[in-house]
Chains A and B, each alone.
Chain A
Amino acid sequence: MADNTYDVIVVGTGAGGGTAMKMLCEAGLRVCALNSGPRTDPDKDYRNHRQVYDLKYRGYGDPLRFKDKPHQEPYSVEESEYSEGRDLFEHDVAYSNAPGTDWYWKRCKATGGKANFWGRSSARFGDIDFKAADLDGFGENWPVDYAEIAPWFSKAERYMGVASTIQNRPSNPDGDYLPPIPWRCLDYIIKKGAEKIGVPYLPDRCAQLTVAHEGHPACHYCGNCSRGCEVGSFFSPTWFTIPEAEATKNLTLLTHALVRSVLLDENGQAKGVAYVDRNAKKEVEVYAKVVVLAASCVETAHIMLNSKSRHWPTGVANSSGQLGRNLCEHLYGCPGYGYLPRLLGQPATPDSIADSTVAWMPRWQNLKNPREEKFIRGYSVYMGGGCGEFPGYYGELEGFGAKFKRDIKRYYPTSVGALIQAPTLPSPTNYVDIDPDKQDIFGIPQLRFHFQWGENELLMWQHSKQVMVDLFKAMGAELWGTDVEPNRPGTSLHETGVCRFGNDPKKFVTNKWAQTHDVPNLYICDASIFPNCTDKTTTMPIVAFTMRTCDYMLDNFKKGVHSRT
Chain B
Amino acid sequence: MSAQQYRLVEHLADMIIPGDDTPGAKQAGVAEFIDFMLANRVAVSGGRDIRSTADGIEAGNDAQVRFLSGLNWINVRSHSEFGKAFMDCSAEQQNGMLQELAYKDKFKPNTESGRAFFQMIRDYTVVGYYTTRIGLESIGYPGLRELWPSMPGCSHPDDPEHLELPKPAM
Residue positions of A touching B, CB distance < 8 A: 49, 51-53, 57-60, 62-67, 69, 72-74, 181-185, 187-189, 191-192, 210, 219-223, 340, 342-354, 387-391, 394, 398-402, 404-406, 408-410, 412
Contacts and interface: CB of A to CB of B under 8 A. Distances in A.
Given A51-B144, A74-B50, A391-B126, 12 more contacts: A51-B133, A53-B131, A63-B40, A63-B57, A69-B53, A73-B50, A182-B154, A342-B165, A353-B148, A387-B142, A401-B95, A405-B17
A64 B154 CA distance: 43
A49 B144 CA distance: 9
B108 interface: no
Contact of A344 (B155, B163, B168): B168
A401 B154 contact: no
Nearest to B168: A345
A57 B148 contact: no
B165 A346 contact: yes
B143 A60 contact: no
B33 interface: yes
A389 B41 CA distance: 24
B2 interface: no
A391 B15 CA distance: 19
Interface string B139-164: 11111111111111111100011110
Given A60-B44, A346-B168, A185 B18 contact: no
Interface stretch (B3-11, B67-75, B80-88, B97-105): B97-105
Interface centre among B42, B57, B99 (most CB of A within 10 A): B42
Contacts of B95: 401
B127 interface: yes
B60 interface: yes
10 contacts: A53-B136, A58-B33, A60-B42, A63-B41, A74-B50, A188-B156, A353-B151, A394-B130, A405-B138, A408-B139
Contact of B143 (A184, A192, A223): A223
A344 B162 CA distance: 11
Contacts of B66: none
A187 B154 contact: yes
A51 B134 CA distance: 12
A184 B153 contact: yes
Interface string B32-46: 010001001110100
Contact of A342 (B138, B149, B163): B163
The 9 closest A-B pairs by CB, nearest first: A345-B168, A182-B153, A348-B140, A350-B142, A220-B147, A221-B148, A58-B131, A188-B160, A72-B52
